[in-house]
Amino acid sequence: MYGFVLKRLALAIPVLLGIATIIFFLMFAIPGDPVQLLMGQHGDPETAATIRSELGLDKPLYVQYFRFIGRLLKGDLGRSYRQRREVTEILFERLPATLKLGTAALCLAVFFGIAAGIIAALNRNKPVDGVVMLGSLVGISTPVFWLGLMLIVVFAVRLKWLPVAGYGTGGDLRHLVLPAVSLSLVYLGYIARITRSSLLEVIGMEFLRTARAKGLAERVVLLKHALRAALLPIVSITGFWVAVLIGDSVLTEVVFARPGLGKMLVGAINQRDYTALQSIMVIYAAFVVVVNLLTDLTYGFLDPRITR
């Protein structure tokens, strides 16, 4: 098992380095000059040259690249062009809002998705099964941003149960409900469908009949034996959709005006703040790599044969 873990960790390092390299060079494909945006319409060539020199943009591209990689290896994400502050400092201010949203959405999707999938599998071809599958299909087919807007209209504008947008004081729970529900519903539908199909595959297997023959309660047979055997595809789809959830969290944060990394990313793109943009994308990429690593390790825990 330790060898399996070390192998996965060793593979993650070149992946992160390759992603950082791609991100760096993609930044220069974005149209627009950050120096011109900083100066506005009334800047002169001398001022532009001074700012370009201060920001290191006057150096050859390969020099900027090695500086970028060197800073990353030291944990230095540079300074924001627009805010004139360390990007690390800004990220620590924005990260809690994104982590709270992502964690809440993932927990809702996994818990209710697995529960819905179990209910559907136990009531195969019955009305309950049809309702769960129809609901999951609607969730999968609904765009996150549109769903967020509809939730705002119904629960914030019409019923006035919850705030329209914002973060609240210290991340008020009431401000988290609508964005978390909006972000979780799509993934809830996928998890419900994969849970149902996985359980239906294992529910008639020999080892479950043996467990029932030993006199185990149906609840124990289902939750301890059948669900564990069905977890591999569930873990797989969950790990995959966590990566997609990162992209959708950007839209959700913009719709609900949450001061997280997604909103910061959009602002960095509009302002051509290359340093902040590179740093946010590297953080997102690192998060995806970590999630995939944890997914692989969970595979090894659920099925030790994978680690051999």
Q: How many domains does the chain have?
A: 1
Write down the pLDDT at residue 307. 56
pLDDT average, residue stretch 223-246: 73
Query: What's the rounded Cα separation, in Å, for the pair 85 and 83?
Result: 5
251, 262 in Cβ contact below 8 A?
yes
Q: Quick one: 188 exposed, middle or buried, by C-beta within 10 A (0-12, 13-18, 19+)?
A: buried
Q: What is the mean pLDDT of the chain?
A: 79
- Inside any domain, residue 175: yes
pLDDT average, residue stretch 201-211: 72
Say which range, 88-97, 193-202, 240-249, 285-294, has the weakest mean pLDDT. Answer: 240-249
Residues 6+ apart with CB under 8 A from 133: 120, 192, 193, 196
- Inside any domain, residue 42: no
pLDDT of 229 higher than 80: no
- Inside any domain, residue 237: yes
For the ranges 130-134, 219-223, 286-290, 298-302, the maximum mean pLDDT occurs at 130-134
pLDDT digits (tens, 9 = 90+) for 24-78: 887 777 666 666 666 666 666 776 777 677 767 777 778 888 888 888 888 777 7
- Inside any domain, residue 202: yes
Write down the pLDDT at residue 40. 63
- Inside any domain, residue 38: no
- Inside any domain, residue 159: yes
Confidence band (pLDDT; 50, 70, 90) for 218? low
Q: Radius of gyration of the chain from Cα atoms?
A: 24
Query: What's the rounded Cα separation, in Å, for the pair 105 and 99?
Result: 10
Query: What's the rounded Cα separation, in Å, for the pair 97 and 115?
Result: 27
Range of the domain at 222: 95-273
Between 262 and 43, name the one with better pLDDT: 262
Write down the pLDDT at residue 299. 67
pTM over 0.85: no
Tokens (6 digits) for 92: 């620590």
Query: What's the rounded Cα separation, in Å, for the pair 111 and 194?
Result: 13
Q: How far is CA 189 from the centre of its chain?
A: 16
Write down the pLDDT at residue 61. 77
Tokens (6 digits) for 243: 């990566």
- Inside any domain, residue 105: yes
Query: What's the rounded Cα separation, in Å, for the pair 184 and 194?
Result: 16
Write down the pLDDT at residue 1. 58
pLDDT of 264 higher than 80: yes
CATH at 175: 1.10.3720.10
Confidence band (pLDDT; 50, 70, 90) for 278? confident
- Inside any domain, residue 16: no
